[in-house]
Amino acid sequence: MPAGPAASEHQYVSFRINGELFGVPVRLVQEVLNPQRIARTPKAPPEIAGLLNLRGQIVTALDLRTQFGLPPRGGEARPMNIVVRHADEWYSLLVDEVGDVIDVSGLSLDPVPSSLVIGRKGVLQGVFRLDAGLLVVLDIAAVLDRKRS
């Protein structure tokens, strides 16, 4: 039986940045892409990695490592892309690694511990306590609105 809209409210696409596990609601994710060719944009803020062409659609690539004040990826590591749509624009969130879809049915969203807020104030919604650790939920609207301001 396919999962309906109610089921997707409890599902998060998981990804890692600098070893930390994050998640965004499945309903916000348009697609996940392997590393893509990104065209640099002159005079863009540092967190804007550039633009990519997704089947004729121009997509702004936002590097979450840079946005969070983390060091650049080492060596030849290339980021994965989580494509989302917000305010009638397309964005690709550049992350280190994309994981599984995690179902958090029955779990409560806890407040973000103050130790996790450094460099990310206002862009985290909360955390789910999983058997394997914490799933930090990213507020996509806050991340992208911060980028736009």
Q: Please work out, in degrees rounded to the nearest 5, the angle formed at the alpha carbon of residue 146 by the alpha carbons of 109 and 39.
A: 115
Please state, in angstroms and rounded to a whole number, the distance separating the CA atoms of residues 39 and 120. Answer: 26
DSSP SS3 for 140 = helix
What does the pLDDT look like over 27-81, one tens digit per residue?
999 999 999 999 998 999 989 999 999 999 999 999 999 988 888 888 778 999 9
Give me the residue label for tokens 């973000």: 112
**Domain harbouring 45, CATH code:** 2.40.50.180
Residue 15 lies in a domain: no
Residue 45 lies in a domain: yes
Residue 127 lies in a domain: yes
Residue 58 lies in a domain: yes
Please state, in angstroms and rounded to a whole number, the distance separating the CA atoms of residues 134 and 53. Answer: 34
Please report the pLDDT score of residue 2 as a whole number.
46
pTM score, whole prediction: 0.87
Residue 14 lies in a domain: no
- Phi and psi dihedrals of 28, rounded to 5? -90, -15
Tally the domains of the chain: 1
Residue 71, domain extent:
23-148
Please report the pLDDT score of residue 63 as a whole number.
94
